[in-house]
Amino acid sequence: MKLVILDRDGVINYDSDQYIKSPAEWRPLPGSLEAIAKLTQAGYKVVIASNQSGLGRGLFDMDTLNAIHDKMHRAVQAVGGRIDAVFYCPHTSDSKCNCRKPKPGMFQRIGGCFNTDLSDAYVIGDSLRDLQPAASVGARSVLVLTGKGEATQAEGNLPEGTLIFSDLAAAVEYILKS
């Protein structure tokens, strides 16, 4: 199965240190929706894996998160793409859960739900915590320099073999040529 796992904030849409708390605050990065459409049209499954601690912090509720994701789904569909699933961790960083990135639980669940080995999957994120679980499940890690990506690159310590691209569109171009 051809599978790409994307972080949401900073990869698909603009990020905010104050969290994305409403559909109005969700704004796609230039070229990100079209990049997802290219993946869809090339036969890839596209899955989102996102920490959403704003839920656990009480900054927004499930109805709001669903509305944000509905806006994202509709925006991707409007340009001919599809997001096959959205996985998220609602817990705060002090939680002992296994689903919050950088722990691998969310990725293990994705592999189980899609009944696939993740060793051929690409995981695209803008922070080290997006890439660490990719390495732990054997997926290919890709850093984009949008969102927190430039700071992540500057900090170093990326998983071995991490590919680096300016944005999601450039990463997708590489994937489609591979």
99 assigned to a ligand binding site: yes
126 is in an annotated binding site: yes
Annotated active-site residue 63? The verdict is no
84 marked as part of a ligand binding site: no
- 89 labeled part of a ligand binding site: yes
Non-local (6+) Cβ contacts of 166 within 8 A are 144, 145, 146
CA distances from 8 to 46, 77, 96, 139, 178 (A): 12, 16, 22, 18, 23
Residues contacting residue 59 through CB under 8 Å, at least 6 positions apart:
19, 21
Backbone angles phi, psi at 165, to 5 degrees: -135, 160
Q: Distance of CA 167 to CAs 50, 64, 66, Å?
A: 17, 27, 25
- Of residues 9, 15, 130, 167, which has the active-site annotation? 9
Residue 9 designated active-site? yes
- Residue 97 assigned ligand-binding role: yes
The catalytic residue among 7, 15, 130, 167 is: 7
List, by residue number, the catalytic residues. Answer: 7, 9
Known binding positions for Zn(2+): 89, 91, 97, 99
Binding positions: 7, 9, 89, 91, 97, 99, 126
